[in-house]
């Protein structure tokens, strides 16, 4: 295997993924995802679109400060102000890239840009030369490339490379391509663009026809060496190529796809779970690689085959994507040492304080729940459940509900360390609970998402709740898990309010505080 077969994995979960309606992440969450992507071994992290808003700029900058190995990239249109914002935001990164783009298809040039092809070519030259003032690593995308006339496409790519682009990205912006013809298009570019050997050819496929992964793989077979993708395939409309699927296809079918990536595949499941938890986008059960059923064998014939030899029905092992066989069974008699070992087995390396806190929560859970699954423990240590030193702290909740209303919630909550209680009525128990929180801590933030998901099977399963609040255009996500859905709901709501409080405080505290907090995550 030579280096020419190494595929660069460019992750755009924080940019195209975040453009999924409802997938907004706040700065802290973006930093957490970026750290997870860095540990996963992605080569390039597209951290955002710096010009889009102050929040986007700060998030790209914070990711640039935090990431240790990957190249950090910001998107920019072919506009000076965009490139300046991108260049400034990525400045703190060890390795930095600007990704600039302009549409090249007849449809986009005429109706979206209202430009003649020659004007677009001029913009390409200007934008790339300007981006090169900030970094030598400049990527250029021909938006709607798969619907661009071939001669013009090759001409724009040649121009971009001459102007200094080191990566050329061919997007299938509207998810229109089919694997055969997309592969052919890659070959046309490889053969016809005279200076193509001076840049890496990349692809960026959308999933409108469910073909994003197939198109990406056809492209690398035809000569592309970078794939742009997202965790769980999130992204505009039907999403982007799913990173975990692309990577595992290459790993599992290396006979047909003789390529390598730098991805630590054993971290795929936990990264998928983190992104799902933060965005509130549940992963469908039958999703390839990271779905809950991806390695479940239900039918008798399959189970029999599996017992005889796992390869009868398994083309890759669960362990290879980070689904570990349970070697330590946890219960209420388990001690802190075993709990620490279990966390290591699940891939979490917590500091002393966080470990002690998680162990206390585990003990409380084990008192209430007979069987503790790995998923229960993961839900405990994932972000959003910590209460220590927070402005608002959940103390207790008593709910009356059922067909004979009114439904009421009696909530006790600490605000700045002082205990307050209230009983509120609502249109159902969740509404009553949220009204109780509102009455103890009046706020303007509006509820945008309330989502419940059972962590495991069984009627005593923990409910994992995501609450998304929006205030002055900013998004604040809260998460919690508890066998009692209403307790989890109250805690998740309170968590979102604490996130809001922390972020507002941090804005007041300035940059130094921001960096200290990011370093502590
Ligand atoms: O889908 C697309 O064309 C994009 C570009 C900005 C690369 O996301
Ligand atoms: Zn896209």
Query: Which is the closest atom of ligand 1 to the Cα of 174?
Result: 1
Q: Which of residues 52 and 519 earns the better pLDDT score?
A: 52
Query: Which is the closest atom of ligand 1 to the Cα of 228?
Result: 7
Of 235-239, 291-295, 318-322, 343-347, give the lowest mean pLDDT range: 343-347
pLDDT at 298: 66
Identify the residues whose C-beta falls under 6 Å from ligand 1. 16, 101, 141, 143, 169, 171, 173, 204, 206
Please, which residues bridge with residue 467 across strands?
450, 478
Q: Can you tell me whether residue 171 is helix, strand or coil?
A: strand
Report d(CA 280, CA 453) in Å as an integer. 10
* Confidence band of 1 (pLDDT split at 50, 70, 90): very low
pLDDT at 521: 22
pLDDT at 311 over 60: yes
pLDDT at 357: 87
- What is the token pair recorded at 463? 């409910």
Report d(CA 474, CA 472) in Å as an integer. 6
What integer is the mean pLDDT of 31-49? Answer: 97
pLDDT at 518 over 60: no
pLDDT at 264: 98
pLDDT at 258 over 50: yes
**In 3D, which of 334, 237, 250 has the Cα closest to residue 23?**
237
Averaged pLDDT of the chain: 90
pLDDT digits (tens, 9 = 90+) for 145-196: 999 999 999 999 999 999 999 999 999 999 999 999 999 999 999 999 999 9
Instruction: Name the closest-CA residue to atom 5, ligand 1.
Output: 143
Pairing of strands 226-229, 392-400: unpaired
Of 20-34, 118-132, 453-467, 479-493, give the lowest mean pLDDT range: 453-467
Q: How close is the Cα of 144 to the center of ligand 2, in Å?
A: 9
Tell me if 251 sits within 8 A of 265, measured CB to CB.
yes
* pTM (two decimals): 0.81
10 Å CB burial of residue 389 (0-12, 13-18, 19+) is exposed
Q: Domain ranges for the chain, please list them.
A: 8-288, 392-503
Tokens 């934008």, located at residue: 127
295-298 long-range contacts (CB < 8 A, ≥24 apart) are: 295/323
By percentage, how much of the chain surpasses pLDDT 70? 93
Q: How close is the Cα of 249 to the center of ligand 2, in Å?
A: 21
User: What HEC string does 26-72 produce?
Assistant: CHHHHHHHHHHHHHHCCCEEEEECCCCCHHHHHHHHHHHHHCCCCEE
**In 3D, which of 206, 165, 168 has the Cα closest to residue 186?**
168
**Any residues with CB less than 8 A from the CB of 161 and at least 6 apart, and which?**
168, 193, 195, 196, 198, 199
In this structure, whether the domain defined by 8-288 belongs to CATH 1.20.1300.10 is answered with: no
By percentage, how much of the chain surpasses pLDDT 90? 67
Q: How close is the Cα of 172 to the center of ligand 2, in Å?
A: 8
Q: How close is the Cα of 35 to the center of ligand 2, in Å?
A: 22
Instruction: Name the closest-CA residue to atom 2, ligand 1.
Output: 173
* Confidence band of 199 (pLDDT split at 50, 70, 90): very high
Report d(CA 438, CA 203) in Å as an integer. 47
Q: Can you tell me whether residue 468 is helix, strand or coil?
A: strand
pLDDT at 368: 79
pLDDT at 295 over 60: yes
Tell me if 5 sits within 8 A of 233, measured CB to CB.
no
- Residue 318's CB is within 10 A of a number of other CB atoms, namely 15
Helix count and strand count (H, E) for the chain: 17, 14
In Å, how far are 142, 225, 278, 363, 366 from 393, measured between CA atoms? 50, 50, 21, 19, 22
pLDDT at 479: 85
Report d(CA 485, CA 461) in Å as an integer. 10
**In 3D, which of 479, 491, 495 has the Cα closest to residue 445?**
495
Report d(CA 131, CA 164) in Å as an integer. 9
What integer is the mean pLDDT of 472-477? Answer: 85
The 418-426 sheet, strands edge to edge? 392-400, 407-415, 418-426
In this structure, whether the domain defined by 392-503 belongs to CATH 3.20.20.80 is answered with: no
Using N-to-C axis directions, what is the helix angle for 150-163 and 179-192, rounded to 10°?
A: 50
Report d(CA 19, CA 288) in Å as an integer. 22
Query: Which is the closest atom of ligand 1 to the Cα of 19?
Result: 8
pLDDT at 392 over 70: yes
Report d(CA 100, CA 79) in Å as an integer. 9
pLDDT at 520 over 50: no
The pick from 20, 75, 174 for probing ligand 1's pocket by mutation, whose C-beta has the most ligand atoms within 8 angstroms, reads 75
pLDDT at 512: 41
pLDDT at 327: 55
* Confidence band of 383 (pLDDT split at 50, 70, 90): low
pLDDT at 351 over 80: yes
Please give the distance of CA 382 from its chain centroid, rounded to a whole number: 14
- Residue 499's CB is within 10 A of a number of other CB atoms, namely 25
The pick from 173, 205, 241 for probing ligand 1's pocket by mutation, whose C-beta has the most ligand atoms within 8 angstroms, reads 173
**Any residues with CB less than 8 A from the CB of 128 and at least 6 apart, and which?**
100, 138, 140, 160, 163, 164, 165
pLDDT at 344 over 90: no
pLDDT at 223: 98
Query: Which is the closest atom of ligand 1 to the Cα of 12?
Result: 8
pLDDT at 482 over 60: yes
pLDDT at 90 over 60: yes
Angle at 45 between CA 138 and CA 323, to 5 degrees: 150
């Amino acid at each position: 295997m030579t280096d020419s077969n190494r595929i660069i994995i460019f992750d755009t979960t924080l940019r195209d993924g975040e453009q999924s309606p409802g997938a907004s992440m706040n700065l802290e969450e973006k930093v957490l995802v970026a750290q997870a992507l860095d540990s996963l071994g992605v080569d390039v992290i597209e951290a955002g679109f710096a010009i889009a808003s102050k929040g986007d700029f700060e998030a790209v900058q914070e990711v640039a400060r935090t990431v240790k190995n990957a190249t950090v990239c910001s998107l920019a249109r072919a506009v000076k102000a965009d490139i300046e914002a991108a260049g400034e935001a990525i400045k703190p990164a060890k390795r930095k890239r600007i990704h600039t783009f302009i549409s090249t298809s007849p449809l986009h040039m005429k109706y979206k840009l209202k430009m003649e092809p020659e004007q677009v070519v001029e913009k390409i030259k200007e934008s790339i030369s300007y981006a090169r003032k900030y970094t030598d690593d400049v990527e250029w995308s021909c938006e709607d490339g798969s619907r661009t006339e071939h001669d013009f496409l090759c001409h724009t790519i040649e121009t971009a490379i001459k102007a200094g682009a080191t990566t050329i990205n061919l997007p299938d912006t509207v998810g229109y391509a089919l694997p055969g013809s997309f592969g052919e298009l890659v070959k046309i570019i490889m053969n016809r663009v005279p200076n193509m050997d001076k840049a890496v050819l990349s692809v960026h496929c959308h999933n409108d026809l469910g073909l994003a992964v197939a198109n990406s793989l056809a492209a690398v077979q035809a000569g592309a060496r970078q794939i742009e993708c997202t965790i769980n395939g999130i992204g505009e409309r039907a999403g982007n190529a799913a990173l975990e699927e692309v990577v595992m296809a290459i790993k599992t079918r290396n006979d047909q796809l003789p390529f390598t990536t730098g991805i630590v595949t054993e971290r795929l499941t936990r990264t998928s779970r983190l992104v799902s938890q933060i965005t509130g986008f549940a992963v469908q059960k039958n999703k390839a690689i990271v779905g809950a059923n991806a390695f479940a064998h239900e039918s008798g014939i399959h189970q029999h085959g599996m017992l005889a030899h796992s390869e009868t029905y398994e083309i890759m092992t669960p362990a290879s994507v980070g689904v570990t066989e349970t070697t330590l069974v946890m219960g209420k008699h388990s001690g802190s040492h075993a709990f620490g070992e279990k966390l290591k087995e699940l891939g979490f390396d917590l500091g002393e304080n966080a470990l002690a806190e998680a162990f206390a929560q585990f003990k409380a859970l084990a008192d209430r729940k007979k069987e503790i699954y790995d998923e229960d423990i993961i839900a405990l240590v994932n972000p959003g459940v910590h209460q220590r030193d927070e402005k608002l702290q959940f103390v207790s909740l008593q709910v009356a509900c059922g067909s004979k209303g009114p439904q009421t919630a009696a909530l006790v909550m600490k605000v700045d360390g002082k205990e307050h209680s209230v009983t509120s009525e609502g249109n159902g128990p969740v509404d009553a609970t949220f009204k109780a929180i509102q009455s103890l801590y009046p706020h303007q933030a509006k509820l945008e998402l309330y989502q419940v998901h059972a962590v495991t099977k069984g009627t005593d399963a923990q409910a994992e709740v995501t609450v998304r609040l929006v205030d002055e255009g900013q998004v604040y996500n809260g998460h919690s898990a508890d066998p009692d859905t209403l307790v989890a709901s109250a805690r998740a709501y309170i968590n979102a309010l604490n996130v809001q409080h922390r972020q507002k405080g941090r804005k007041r505290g300035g940059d130094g505080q921001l960096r200290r907090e990011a370093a502590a995550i």
